[in-house]
Amino acid sequence: MSTKDEKTTRRNFLKTVGVLGAGSIVATTVPFVNATAGSEARKSATEIVPKRPFGKTGVDVSILALGGVLKMSDQLVFRMACKMGVTYWDTADSYGWGKNEKAIGKYFTKFPNDRKNIFLVTKAATSDPAELTEKLNNSLVKLNTSYVDMYFIHYVKDVKDELTSGVKAWAEKAKAEGKIRLFGFSAHKNMEASMLTAAKLGWIDGIMMSYNYRLMAKDEMKRAVDVCAKAGIGLTAMKTQAAFTANFYASIGSETDDALKMTESLMKKGYTAEQAKLKVVWENPAIASICSAMPNMTILQANAAAAMNKEKLSENHKNLLNQYAQRTCSGYCAGCANLCEPVVDHHVPISDLMRCAMYRFGYGDREKALELFKALPPETKRTVLRTDFSEAEKRCPQKIEIGRLLKAAIKDLA
């Protein structure tokens, strides 16, 4: 990500609260300082981010996970994350074209004793056992470790097709060899269906899925989380900021006003809107951890402060989040590809393209958007341009202008 893009993304939460003055965010940017404005002004220097059970695996993990793409030069972020108790580290063989794994490996070379304290997760986008073996071995070399605590199949779209008996046998073998401790998958689309199917398999240890203040209100998601929790599957929430494609839907006037109203109210309690979005997810005890992109110390410290702050959100603040979600829903894809993709004339990966658009127009991260776009079939561009999306738009519960948004994304990224 370029310096310019990083400054435009929600990951630099200072942009959102900047209108309120830099002095009002001090409590959220200093490690171990209570993010509330209550009687406790400062936390003990020995306090760290708390842990929760990861399903019924017998493993406890930090409720905040270090995600995103960190570079070789970001060693201080790794070091401070470890000291703050952010000991769940998430990566993938594709992040930063493999550079993220190498950055973690560099850290373990310098601080080998920290490896035993880290719950390390990496991923590979394949369900072919031979490819899984090759990719895992390559990841272990880059990470400078003999094992990973959790290995995910990345971006699972259909559990029945991808989590086969061959994959199960592969996972059991990898566990027996000591190369992985736990096995699971990540899901960005049709999450609820994938979770419900996985809960019946009996051999999935963990799932990472899109889950945030927008999605957690859906009855389907509530049921999927409950079923997985009963099955003993550890759940990791990602995309908890639920990026609104503001750069594309700038014409929606309520977005700015609602965001400012919510931010001002939350700041009076001592935390930002970004922190509140994390806190509302943590209120569900079935969510073991939140994986958040934390590319710099500012965001790491702010998120850690939110994790250590035990005060719950008020009903008023929850209502503000719900109101904001409802008014900006047409700028957020909920990943229900099973509704929109089957009704278009051509095979268009709508949900995948929406993910590209989210990074480009929501996070302002064009580099990540390009990385995802280039992984799609080469004919995607011309297919989108000749496709009528009117029926898909009718089926979309978020009322997204799918055709206009996808064509804008194609124009920008192709």
pLDDT in tens, 227-285: 999 999 999 999 999 876 655 655 444 556 777 778 888 888 888 999 999 999 999 99
CB count within 10 Å of CB 46 equals: 6
- Cα separation, 12 vs 215, in Å, equals 23
pLDDT score of 39: 33
Q: Which two tokens stand for residue 312?
A: 């719950």
Of 38-47, 127-136, 150-159, 182-191, least confident by mean pLDDT is: 38-47
pLDDT digits (tens, 9 = 90+) for 350-408: 999 998 988 888 888 898 899 889 889 889 988 999 999 999 999 999 999 999 999 98
pLDDT digits (tens, 9 = 90+) for 66-115: 998 999 999 999 999 999 999 999 999 999 888 999 999 999 999 999 99
Share of the chain above pLDDT 70, in %: 86
DSSP of 195-244: HHHHHHHS---EEEEE--TTGGGSHHHHHHHHHHHHTT-EEEEE-TT---
CB count within 10 Å of CB 121 equals: 28
CB count within 10 Å of CB 408 equals: 17
Beta carbons within 8 Å of 359's beta carbon, 6+ residues apart: 243, 365, 366, 368, 369, 372
Q: Is 334 helix (H, G, I), strand (E, B) or coil?
A: coil
By the 10 Å C-beta count (0-12 exposed, 13-18 middle, 19+ buried), 330 is classed as middle
Q: What are phi and psi of 52, to 5 degrees?
A: -135, 155
Where in the chain are all domains bearing CATH 3.20.20.100?
Answer: 3-324
CB count within 10 Å of CB 58 equals: 9
pLDDT score of 362: 83
Fold of the CATH domain 3-324: TIM Barrel (3.20.20)
> How much is the average pLDDT of 131-150?
98
CA angle 20, 48, 115 (to 5 degrees): 120
- Cα separation, 297 vs 78, in Å, equals 10
Instruction: Label residue 209 by pLDDT band (50, 70, 90).
Output: very high
Between strands 60-62 and 51-53, the pairing is antiparallel
Query: Is the torsion defined by CA of 316, 321, 324, 325 positive or negative?
Result: negative
- State the chain's mean pLDDT as an integer: 86
